């Protein structure tokens, strides 16, 4: 299970947060496929509690594939349409828990109460860990993190055969529709043995799995434990990027060697996801970050070899609870979004850097230079070169690129041309800006 290895692969994932499936399908055809993205990651497809808030998605009511994002048929049509456009589909999958509210009726019409979700689960299928409210209180206790409740969400007894069999049946239903991979929500809250058991029952096996494990240095549960199952989301990277681009200095980003982090081959990284952009889970940059740092950080994420990169594509909100605009019908236009949608995946710099990543593949980081804390430049083998100036003064220099001589189009601006001669590039990078050249984008 791995997303990226060699040049020509398409490793970049877009998290199309809260996009309905019909609009994902249209966007796969119109932009995502042609731009070279490898995967879309879509919001959870199962029946959930009703309500306008985005997080209703994470309060599962049943495994009927009728969600705010569309019907089972919409999901199937989206998978087929994206596949036809050369794009694979990852589904955000909630195995750890069911709904946390007292009672209600779900998006497919099923009524439930806390700990009873007919026809799937009854009260015998859950953990009652014995803390007040059965909630996690001690985040350094493995037992509590994995068998108590995360925000009151009814915690499934994933060590039992009944629960494993039904979760695997749900997973196999997704696989039968052609889903390519899974983002396992709240993976840290399930023991690896339970996840392994369930994943082992899937047929076909997912081509890619990424697991949400929010871990800090010294935490009892570490993401690396989960690397035998698939990729692991490395939130420490997200926070390191936020700090570095916000004054800490990007010269520290040449390599990531903290022994507790998930290794590069198993790390899934992002500048922000739907939680961190709202200030949850880990500190991150977001679209409101000053001085172009959000874009520059995404450029870095796509240029640097550490991990498999996910690009968040999201929407503006006034409250952190706000659901998507227009009933989740994502709307982009040109190189941006409309109607509140941000369409980060269409931004010229991000789409351009996806082409860069596809071209450089696993080529080694080369020719690193950093003359001051907010200026870095580096190559990827002899096929790509990027310069990031997160400084408030222009950076004029002659760079050793390793690139074949020729005239290249900068994929950040999508228009400026640069000449490499004798492997050297002489230029001045504007304030808080970047230049990226690769052999797939010669002028
Ligand atoms: C995740 N990974 O472990 C998701 O990435 C994250 O977005 C989910 O939280 C969380 N796990 C549970 O799947 C989101 C919101 C929470 C929300 C929760 C359930 O960030 O705010 O909790 O989904 O909808 C909400 C209320 C809580 C309440 C809970 C249960 O905010 O106050 O206790 O619902 O009713
Ligand atoms: Ca659990």
| For ligand 1, atom 21: residue with the closest CA | 55
Read off the pLDDT of each residue in 168-189 and give the average, rounded to a whole number: 98
Of 185, 194, 374, 410, the active-site residue reads 185
In this structure, CATH architecture of domain 13-360: Alpha-Beta Barrel (3.20)
Atom of ligand 1 nearest to the CA of 273: 5
To the nearest whole percent, how much of the chain has pLDDT over 70? 98
CB atoms within 10 A of CB 310: 26
Lookup result for tokens 């950080």:
297
pLDDT at 390: 98
> Tens of pLDDT along 94-151?
999 999 999 999 999 999 999 999 999 999 999 999 999 999 999 999 999 999 999 9
Residue 24 pLDDT exceeds 90: yes
Indicate the top mutation candidate among 153, 156, 210, 211 to test ligand 1's pocket, ranked by most ligand atoms within 8 A of CB. Answer: 153
pLDDT at 50: 98
Alpha-carbon distance of 347 to 168, in angstroms, equals 38
pLDDT at 9: 86
Residue 392: active-site member: no
Atom of ligand 1 nearest to the CA of 53: 24
CB atoms within 10 A of CB 323: 18
How many angstroms is it from 55 CA to the middle of ligand 1? 6
> Tens of pLDDT along 193-210?
999 999 999 999 999 999
How many angstroms is it from 146 CA to the middle of ligand 2? 4
Return all residues near 427 (Cβ < 8 A) that are at least 6 apart.
387, 396, 397, 399, 418, 435
pLDDT at 7: 55
Residue 183 pLDDT exceeds 60: yes
How many angstroms is it from 79 CA to the middle of ligand 1? 27
Task: Given CATH 2.60.120.10, say whether it is the number of domain 365-438.
Answer: no
Q: Which ligand is nearest to the CA of 273?
A: 1
How many angstroms is it from 150 CA to the middle of ligand 2? 8
Residue 291 pLDDT exceeds 70: yes
Of 212, 374, 391, 410, the active-site residue reads 212
- Going by C-alpha positions, the residue among 127, 161, 160 that lies closest to residue 145 is 127
- Average pLDDT of every residue of the chain: 97
How many angstroms is it from 387 CA to the middle of ligand 2? 44
Residue 3 pLDDT exceeds 50: no
Q: Do the strands 39-42 and 424-429 form a parallel or antiparallel pair, or are they unpaired?
A: unpaired
Backbone phi, psi, residue 49, to 5°: -65, 155
| For ligand 1, atom 17: residue with the closest CA | 55
Instruction: Identify the DSSP state of 286.
Output: -
pLDDT at 2: 46
Asked whether 368 and 378 are in contact (CB, 8 A), the reply is yes
pLDDT at 343: 98
Atom of ligand 1 nearest to the CA of 187: 3
2-16, 318-332, 425-439: range with lowest mean pLDDT: 2-16
Q: Do the strands 60-62 and 47-48 form a parallel or antiparallel pair, or are they unpaired?
A: antiparallel
Atom of ligand 1 nearest to the CA of 49: 24
pLDDT at 441: 98
Determine the distance from the C-alpha atom of residue 430 to the mean position of all C-alpha atoms in its chain, rounded to a whole number. 29
| For ligand 1, atom 22: residue with the closest CA | 151
| For ligand 1, atom 30: residue with the closest CA | 100
Asked whether 15 and 313 are in contact (CB, 8 A), the reply is yes
CA atoms within 13 A on the CB side of 296: 27
How many angstroms is it from 112 CA to the middle of ligand 1? 18
Lookup result for tokens 């994502």:
330
Ligand 1 binding pocket, CB closer than 6 Å: 55, 58-59, 100-101, 150-153, 185-186, 212, 275, 280
Read off the pLDDT of each residue in 11-27 and give the average, rounded to a whole number: 98
Residue 8 pLDDT exceeds 80: no
Indicate the top mutation candidate among 50, 55, 210, 211 to test ligand 1's pocket, ranked by most ligand atoms within 8 A of CB. Answer: 55
CA distances from 196 to 35, 96, 175, 228, 293 (A): 34, 13, 16, 9, 38
Read off the pLDDT of each residue in 345-362 and give the average, rounded to a whole number: 97
Indicate the top mutation candidate among 59, 148, 151 to test ligand 1's pocket, ranked by most ligand atoms within 8 A of CB. Answer: 151
Q: What are the boundaries of each domain within the chain?
A: 13-360, 365-438
How many angstroms is it from 147 CA to the middle of ligand 2? 5
| For ligand 1, atom 26: residue with the closest CA | 151
To the nearest whole percent, how much of the chain has pLDDT over 90? 97
Six token digits for residue 162:
């009944």
> Tens of pLDDT along 40-95?
999 999 999 999 999 999 999 999 999 999 999 999 999 999 999 999 999 999 99
How many angstroms is it from 57 CA to the middle of ligand 2? 17
CB atoms within 10 A of CB 123: 12
| For ligand 1, atom 16: residue with the closest CA | 55
Q: What is the ipTM of this complex?
A: 0.95
Residue 154 pLDDT exceeds 60: yes
Indicate the top mutation candidate among 58, 113, 134, 195 to test ligand 1's pocket, ranked by most ligand atoms within 8 A of CB. Answer: 58
Q: How many helices (H) and strands (E) does the chain have?
A: 9, 22
Atom of ligand 1 nearest to the CA of 274: 7
Question: What's the length of the chain?
Answer: 443
| For ligand 1, atom 15: residue with the closest CA | 55
Read off the pLDDT of each residue in 360-383 and give the average, rounded to a whole number: 97
Read off the pLDDT of each residue in 392-402 and give the average, rounded to a whole number: 98
Residue 212: active-site member: yes
């Amino acid at each position: 299970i791995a997303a990226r290895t060699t040049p020509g692969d398409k490793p970049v994932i877009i998290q199309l947060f809260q996009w309905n499936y019909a609009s994902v399908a249209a966007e796969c055809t119109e932009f995502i496929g042609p731009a070279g993205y490898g995967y879309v990651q879509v919001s959870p497809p199962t029946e959930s509690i009703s309500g306008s808030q985005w997080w209703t998605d994470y309060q599962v009511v049943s495994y009927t594939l009728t969600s705010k994002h569309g019907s089972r048929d919409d999901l199937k049509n989206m998978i087929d349409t994206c596949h036809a456009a050369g794009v694979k589909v990852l589904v955000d999958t909630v195995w750890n828990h069911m709904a946390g509210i007292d009672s209600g009726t779900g998006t497919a019409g099923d009524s439930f109460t806390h700990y009873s979700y007919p026809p799937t689960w009854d009260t015998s299928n859950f953990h009652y860990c014995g803390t007040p409210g059965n909630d996690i209180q001690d985040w350094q206790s493995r037992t509590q993190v994995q068998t108590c409740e995360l925000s009151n969400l009814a915690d499934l007894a994933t060590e039992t055969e009944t629960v494993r069999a039904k979760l695997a049946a749900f997973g196999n239903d997704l696989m039968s529709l052609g889903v390519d991979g899974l983002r396992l929500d709240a993976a840290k809250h399930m023991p690896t043995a339970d996840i392994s058991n369930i994943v082992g029952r899937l047929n076909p096996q997912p081509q890619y799995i990424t697991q949400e494990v929010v871990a800090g240095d010294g935490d009892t549960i570490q993401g690396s434990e989960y690397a035998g199952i698939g990729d692991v989301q490395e939130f420490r990277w997200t926070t390191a990027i936020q700090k570095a681009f916000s004054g800490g200095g990007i010269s520290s980003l040449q390599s990531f060697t903290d022994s507790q982090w998930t290794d590069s081959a198993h790390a899934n990284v992002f500048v922000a996801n739907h939680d961190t952009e709202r200030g949850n889970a880990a500190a991150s940059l977001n679209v409101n970050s000053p001085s172009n740092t959000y874009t520059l950080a995404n450029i870095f994420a796509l240029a640097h070899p550490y991990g498999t990169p996910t690009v968040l594509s999201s929407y503006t909100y006034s409250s952190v609870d706000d659901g998507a605009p227009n009933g989740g019908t994502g709307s982009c236009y040109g190189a941006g979004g409309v109607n509140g949608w941000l369409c980060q995946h269409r931004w010229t710099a991000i789409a351009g850097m996806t082409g860069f990543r596809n071209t450089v593949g696993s080529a080694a980081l080369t020719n690193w230079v950093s003359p001051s804390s907010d200026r870095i430049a580096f190559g990827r083998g002899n096929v790509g070169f990027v310069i990031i100036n997160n400084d408030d003064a222009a950076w004029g220099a002659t760079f050793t690129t390793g690139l074949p001589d020729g005239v290249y189009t900068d994929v950040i601006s999508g228009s400026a041309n640069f000449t490499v001669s004798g492997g050297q590039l002489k230029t001045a990078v504007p304030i808080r800006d970047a230049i990226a050249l690769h052999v797939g984008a010669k002028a």
